[in-house]
Amino acid sequence: MRKSWGCLAVVLALSACRKDAAEGPEGGGDARGTVARLEGGEAGEDALSGPYTVTKEKLEAYVGYQRKMLEVYGSLMRSLQDMGPLLDAGTPQAMEKARSGLKLIERKAQAEADARQAAGLSTDEVNRIAEVVTAVISQRQMGRTLQYEEELKKLEALQARMPEEQQKELAPQVESMRLQVETFQKLPEARREFGDANVDVVLSREADLTKNYQDMLKAFAGVRR
């Protein structure tokens, strides 16, 4: 019966990611695009074309939208978890109650629409902003997780204590680590893809967006906050 519970959770996730399947590889169907679109929805007639500019006002609205959706996703995932015992019971009455969980997907879609309207953002705007935010914040988060800056300091301190000949031998490793740190700090890939202005605007709200990003991961992992 655990398999049935798992399938329901997958259906919920797929309902948020259906745009990726429709677009294919060129439409951003990688992991980063999937995470970004968990916060958005299916593009409609309001889809934008050409480069998108993330303004401070739009980003502010998006931060508020994220917080509303975190409440929605947290509630839905808790409801799905609570359905586990019902599915394990396997009785007709329990299964009937469990099937009502499919209505969670409909409520999720409506909640997304309500949150977008409250934020004054279109579906496409949410998706476009989410792509930039996810590209920037996920890279910054990865840099902190891997602790490259701390490792670089340790490596540099070790190099400084070595004889000159050994310092030269270690130099390529130090330089490689330094380049990794610079990549996570300056985000060259995100800047090439989305432009300096968009990246800098997102970084101006890095603390709030990082918290939202972490809370979103917890929500989808089923962590109760």
SS3 labels along 168-183: HHHHHHHHHHHHHHHH
Condensed to tens digits (0 to 9), the pLDDT of residues 25-68 reads 333 334 444 445 455 554 444 455 568 999 999 999 999 999 98
Q: How many whole angstroms separate alpha carbon 101 and alpha carbon 59?
A: 33
pTM: 0.68
Type of residue at 72? V
Nearest to 195 by CA among 184, 187, 185, 207: 187
What 3-state class would DSSP assign to 44? Answer: coil
Condensed to tens digits (0 to 9), the pLDDT of residues 89-118 reads 666 766 666 666 667 767 778 888 999 999
* Residue 90, number of CB atoms within 10 A of its CB: 11
What 3-state class would DSSP assign to 169? Answer: helix
The pLDDT, as a whole number, for residue 11 is: 40
